[in-house]
Structure 1
Amino acid sequence: MTTDESTGAAGGTARGLVLASHPGPTAAVTVLTALLAWSAGHDPARGALVTVAVLAGQLSIGWSNDLVDARRDRAVGRVDKPVASGAVTERAVRVACGLALVVTVALSLACGWASGLVHLALGVAAGWGYNLWFKRTAFSPLPYAVAFAALPAVVTLALPVPALPAAWVLVTGGLLGVGAHLLNALPDLDDDEATGVRGLPHRLGATRVRRLAPVVLLAGSVVAAYGPGIDGTGLGLLAVCVGLTGVAVVGRGRLPFVAAVLVALANVVSLVARPG
Structure 2
Amino acid sequence: MLKIPLTVWIANAAACLTGMYGDVTHQAESADCSRQTVYDHAQKVQAAVGAEHAGGPTRAALIQENERLRQENARLWDWLAQTIEFPASKQHEFAVTATAMGLSLNQVLILLVLLLGTQARPSRSTIQRWIKAAGQKAGRVLKYLDGRCRTLVLVGCLDEIFFHRRPVLVGVEPASMVWFLGSKADDRQGATWCQELQGWTNLRFVVSDAGTGLQAGIALVQQQRREAKQLPLEDGYDVFPTAQEARRVLRRSWNHVERLWEHAEAATRQVAP
Richer in strand (by share)? 2
TM-score by length of 1: 0.27
Richer in helix (by share)? 1
Higher RCO (CA-CA < 8 Å; seq separation 6+): 1
